[in-house]
Amino acid sequence: MSRLPNITAKKAVVAFHKAGFEVVGQRGSHVRIQNSAGIQLIIPQHGGDLKRPLLKALIKQAGLSEQTFRELI
């Protein structure tokens, strides 16, 4: 299995949106998204790409596999 690609926070929000998450709020540079099951994720919108450990943690919290997330990008 290959490594997760480097993506920006904006692309991550779009990918999670395809997985059923909706933006429910923003406080400063952090976007809060939630799905219909009530799972909430907070994605920092700082400059540059998201770090891989953070992206992996967000994918795990969302209940997705890395392969599924790659297909959503």
pLDDT at 1: 63
Stretch 6-34: mean pLDDT? 95
What gap in Å lies between CA 4 and CA 21, rounded to an integer?
20
pTM attached to this predicted model: 0.91
Domains in the chain (CATH in brackets) are: 9-72 (3.30.920.30)
Note the pLDDT tens digit of each residue in 30-57: 999 999 999 999 999 998 999 999 999 9
CA distances to 9, 10, 36, 37, 38 from 50, in Å: 6, 10, 25, 25, 23
* Residue whose token pair is 């997760």: 4
